[in-house]
């Protein structure tokens, strides 16, 4: 069924006068005499003329309006049905997807086998025990060297003393008329004294006003690591029995001047001396 109101460009509530005016405008525009060779204008003019014949007659217009309203109702019903169908399809799709996803999650899947992971444990470095052991070895070595020096000094003393037989013979030759009384040989006990700390400063460093960090006569700078007492004794020479000239606190900054097997020559606060090699952190 054609929509004559749409063809004439009028409304369904338009009067007969308005329909006649719309027909006059469209017929003048699409008349075949103006565009004789164009089929589109001919077909368009026929539709306009047919619509005007139906809508200009009141009886035909009433019949047309009745059928036109019924058609509009059917179109509205179809539109509602189409919209409802589209909404129902979308709802079914979303709800069905959710249901399928929930069911698939609830089903227990096959057990997954976990690959065995081997973790290599890092070796534990007992730094403190290692340092303590190293300290004890150094102390024992220093004690052994100190004992060797004492033994050497005792041997030299005994070597310089005259044997008792020589003294007895001398007394016999000088005073032969008197009886000789020999006293039993006695050994002099060796006593150890605590070595005092001497105030010793390097003369070169004292006369040189330039700080040592601005000089180039040192190897490198490092920190001192003390033992359980927290201090390191700086000695005047590179052996254990030498005098202590400075007490250096642990983790103090020092300048290394020379490196030896057992002792390092360092400078700390304008004082130059020797400390055990194990107390100096090497680079």
pLDDT in tens, 22-34: 888 888 888 877 7
The better pLDDT of the pair 124, 175 is held by: 124
- The pLDDT score that the predictor gives to residue 151 is 62
Q: Classify residue 232: in a domain, yes or no.
A: yes
Q: Classify residue 177: in a domain, yes or no.
A: no
* Number of domains present in the structure of the chain: 2
pLDDT in tens, 65-100: 888 888 888 877 776 777 888 998 888 888 887 888
Separation CA 202–CA 234 (nearest Å): 13
Q: Classify residue 152: in a domain, yes or no.
A: no
Question: Range of 40's domain?
Answer: 4-88
Q: Classify residue 63: in a domain, yes or no.
A: yes
One-character DSSP codes across 22-63: HHHHHHHHS-TTTSTT-HHHHHHHHHHHHHHHHHHSHHHHHH
Among 69, 88, 107, where does a domain finish? 88
Q: Does pTM surpass 0.75?
A: no
One-character DSSP codes across 181-205: -PPPP--PPP---PPPBP----HHH
Identify the band that residue 155 occupies on the pLDDT scale cut at 50, 70 and 90: low
């Amino acid at each position: 069924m054609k929509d004559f109101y749409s063809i004439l460009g009028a409304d369904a509530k338009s009067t007969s006068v308005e329909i006649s005016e719309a027909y006059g405008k469209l017929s003048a525009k699409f008349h075949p005499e103006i565009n004789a060779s164009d089929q589109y204008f001919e077909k368009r003019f026929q539709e306009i003329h047919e619509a005007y014949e139906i809508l200009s007659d009141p009886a035909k217009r009433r019949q047309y309006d009745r059928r036109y309203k019924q058609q509009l109702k059917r179109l509205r019903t179809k539109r509602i049905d189409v919209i409802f169908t589209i909404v129902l399809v979308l709802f079914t799709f979303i709800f069905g997807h959710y249901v399928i996803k929930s069911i698939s999650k609830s089903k227990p899947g096959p057990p997954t086998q976990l690959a065995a992971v081997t973790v290599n444990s890092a070796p534990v470095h007992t730094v403190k025990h290692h340092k303590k052991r190293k300290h004890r070895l150094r102390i024992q070595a220093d004690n052994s060297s100190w004992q060797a020096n004492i033994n050497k000094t005792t041997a030299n003393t005994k070597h310089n003393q005259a044997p008792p037989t020589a003294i007895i013979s001398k007394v016999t030759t000088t005073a032969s008329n008197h009886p000789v009384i020999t006293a039993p040989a006695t050994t002099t006990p060796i006593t150890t004294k605590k070595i005092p700390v001497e105030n010793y400063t390097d003369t070169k460093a004292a006369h040189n006003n330039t700080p040592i960090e601005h000089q180039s006569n040192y190897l490198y700078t490092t920190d001192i690591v003390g033992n359980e007492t927290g201090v390191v004794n700086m000695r005047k020479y590179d052996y254990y029995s030498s005098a202590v000239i400075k007490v250096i606190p642990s983790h103090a900054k020092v300048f290394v001047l020379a490196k030896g097997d057992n002792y390092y020559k360092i400078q700390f606060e304008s004082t130059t001396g020797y400390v055990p090699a194990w107390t100096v952190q090497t680079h």
